[in-house]
Amino acid sequence: MIPAAFDYYRPKKMDDVIALLEQHGDDARVMAGGHSLIPMMKLRMAEVPHLIDLQDIEGLSDISVEGGKITLGAMVTQHDLINHAGLTAAAPILREAALQIADPQVRYMGTVGGNVANGDPGNDMPGLMQCLDAQINLVGPNGTRSVAAREYYEAAYMTDREDDEVLVSISFDTPSGGFAYEKQKRKIGDYATAAAAVQIVKDGGKVAAASIAMTNLSDVPVWSEGACDALVGTSCDAAAMKAAAAAMLGDIDPSEDNRGPVAFKRHVAGVILTRAITRAWDRA
Amino acid sequence: MTEKMHIKLKVNGEDKEFLAEPRELLIYALREKLNITGPHVGCETSHCGACTVTLNGKSVKSCTMFVAQANGAEITTIEGIGTPDALHVLQESFREHHGLQCGFCTPGMIMRATKLLEENPTPTEEEVRFGMAGNICRCTGYQNIVKSILAAASELNAAKEAAQ
Ligand SMILES: Cc1cc2nc3c(=O)[nH]c(=O)nc-3n(C[C@H](O)[C@H](O)[C@H](O)COP(=O)(O)OP(=O)(O)OC[C@H]3O[C@@H](n4cnc5c(N)ncnc54)[C@H](O)[C@@H]3O)c2cc1C
Ligand code: FES
Ligand code: FES
């Protein structure tokens, strides 16, 4: 499996990355860990005449947990996420989700930025970031801007990011309450048949706030406002969970593939969401 | 064809320099340019782990890395951890506990296991299975691989205690 030839760049400064992207337009792409991009290039499903490796750009691998805010540099790996004690204490859902991605070798290379930027509906981090209401921070020729994760995804592999922009970090408020990342997959290392990211805040025995996002059940991640609303104000009993699952099923649009037909995926989505809500509520 | 790049690697403690196209995968550079044939090509699609090496302290699948990306790195392969006369504890343990049959997956298994025991020197059986999940074996059914790794962990820990 030999990918098409390319010119390789490993700049040290972000300005140089952006200059290369401006110069080569569509023909250039950045590479983070390469664990989505290289397999696509090997299959020749992606052709990248100008490949810009981000590994030498400084300051992209920082994790900051401070003053109620969490910021993850784009080049933070899944391995880093799993092993950062302060982050796990502040936002344990990240570790729970990262441990369900791929395998140890892939997690050493795969980055948060790459996972969020890629736009593959199978990636786990986009739904997670929607659940956390994260901001995606980009830099381009005209400076920096932020986009809400809930607004970022347009279609499979199509995001709000312009070709000459680079994702530099992802930031969100420290979540509170109970959490769960639940994922159904055929084997370790597989993408989700269905996955759910859930955060629930409990107050006086009732759901005070809920955030629910689903993965690999549409061509984009799905943050289900209807499912959240169905839980708020209830005691998270069976009826409320059923209503939340029904609302979520109204928001997803899975397609048939080698993970199963549509009816099966809808069934699994309901089961996974109910499990995730149950676990998040227990922990709230 | 793009121009060849001047690549420098430190492999098993030795400096290596050669020319390669940036698109060449690290596994082929190791096997074909440097004649380091311990790392195997099983699937070539990032799934089997037969190509696992340690690169700058990380377990990586060398079929999913361009040689250009690895430029400047320090790499350890199965050739770098022991010799036929002085096997690494894990090599000895795999031999002792029948952790291999055809042996095709073994270089990747052992390289991943060396790193796993660094990350977690006292793993449970479950942690060994989870930490080895990126490596596939078509022969053993994994039972003896897990046994070999657990036995190597005990041995390393006993040696550490004795040294204290
Ligand atoms: C065997 C295997 C199993 C896997 N299983 C899962 C799984 O279960 N769940 C899951 O979520 N993922 C899975 N992955 C994917 C893995 O997590 C990837 O590493 C991750 O999706 C992409 O991260 P990366 O750093 O490797 O990105 P790359 O492959 O380097 O890049 C991916 C895309 O994002 C772009 N990009 C990268 N960084 C930036 C940036 N900073 N700014 C702008 N664009 C950028 C690239 O141009 C490219 O188009 C798996 C991968 C493998 C090989
Ligand atoms: S050959 Fe690299 S993972 Fe199989
Ligand atoms: S011993 Fe044959 S593949 Fe593992």
Radius of gyration of chain A (CA): 19
Q: What pLDDT, on a 0 to 100 scale, did the predictor assign at position A278? A: 98
Distance CA(B82)–CA(B78), nearest Å, equals 8
CA distances from A25 to A28, A29, A53, A161, B56 (A): 6, 9, 16, 13, 32
Query: Does the pLDDT value for residue B156 go beyond 70?
Result: yes
- B-chain residues near A35 (CB < 8 A): 46, 64
The answer to whether A105 contacts B60, with C-beta atoms less than 8 Å apart, is yes
Minimum CA–CA partner of A49 in chain B = B2
pLDDT of residue B164: 87
| Percent of chain B predicted with pLDDT > 70 | 99
* Residue B48 DSSP one-character state: S
Residue ranges of chain A with per-residue pLDDT less than 50: none
Q: Are A24 and A6 in contact (CB under 8 A)?
A: no
Is CATH 1.10.150.120 correct for B89-163?
yes
B52/A105 CB distance under 8 A: yes
Question: What integer pLDDT is reported at residue A24 of this predicted model?
Answer: 97
Which residue ranges make up each domain of chain B? 5-80, 89-163
Say what the pTM is.
0.97
Out of A7, A35, A55, whose CB is closest to B2?
A7
The predicted pLDDT at position A1 comes to 83
* Cα→Cα distances A198→A70, A155, A182, B6, B46, Å: 18, 23, 8, 49, 30
> What is the CATH class of B5-80?
alpha beta
Main-chain dihedrals φ then ψ at residue B34, nearest 5 degrees: -105, -5
Length of chain A in terms of residues written? 284
Nearest ligand 2 atom to alpha carbon B46: 3
Give pLDDT, residue A158. Answer: 97
Establish if A209 touches chain B: CB-CB under 8 angstroms.
Answer: no
Torsion angle of the four alpha carbons A105, A111, A114, A115, in this order, in degrees rounded to the nearest 10:
80
pLDDT at residue B2 greater than cutoff 90 = no
User: Which tokens is B52 given?
Assistant: 């696992």
Residue B41 with chain A: CB contacts under 8 Å: none
Residue in this structure with the two tokens 């930490």, named with its chain if needed: B131
Angle at CA of residue A115, ends B29 and A175, nearest 5°: 140
pLDDT tens, position by position, B111-144: 999 999 999 999 999 999 999 999 999 999 999 9
User: How far from B47 is each of A238, A258, B41, B78, B124, CA to CA, in Å?
Assistant: 40, 17, 11, 19, 24
Residue-wise burial string across A191-228, b where 16 or more C-beta atoms lie within 10 A, e elsewhere: bbbbbbbbbbbbeeeebeebbbbbbbbbbbbbbbeebb
* CB contact A56 to B (< 8 Å): no
Is B61 within 8 Å of A106 when comparing Cβ atoms? Answer: yes
Q: Show the domains of chain A with their CATH numbers.
A: 7-53 (3.30.43.10), 63-173 (3.30.465.10), 178-283 (3.30.390.50)
CB contact under 8 A, B68 and A4: no
Pairwise CA distance, residues B119 & B111, whole Å: 13
B141 lines ligand 3 (CB under 6 A): no
Q: What angle do CA A267, A268, A274 make, to 5 degrees?
A: 95
Report whether B63 contacts B25 (CB < 8 A).
yes
**Predicted complex ipTM exceeds 0.90:** yes
Alpha helices (H) along B2-135: 26-28, 67-70, 89-96, 106-119, 125-131
Q: Please, what sign has the CA dihedral across residues A203, A207, A211, A216?
A: positive
Chain B residues inside the 8 Å CB shell of A41? 23
The total number of residues written for chain B in this structure? 164
Instruction: Please check whether residue A198 touches B, CB under 8 A.
Output: no
Is the pLDDT assigned to residue B1 strictly greater than 80? no
- CB-CB under 8 Å, A105 with B134: yes
Q: Is B98 in the pocket of ligand 3 (CB under 6 A)?
A: no
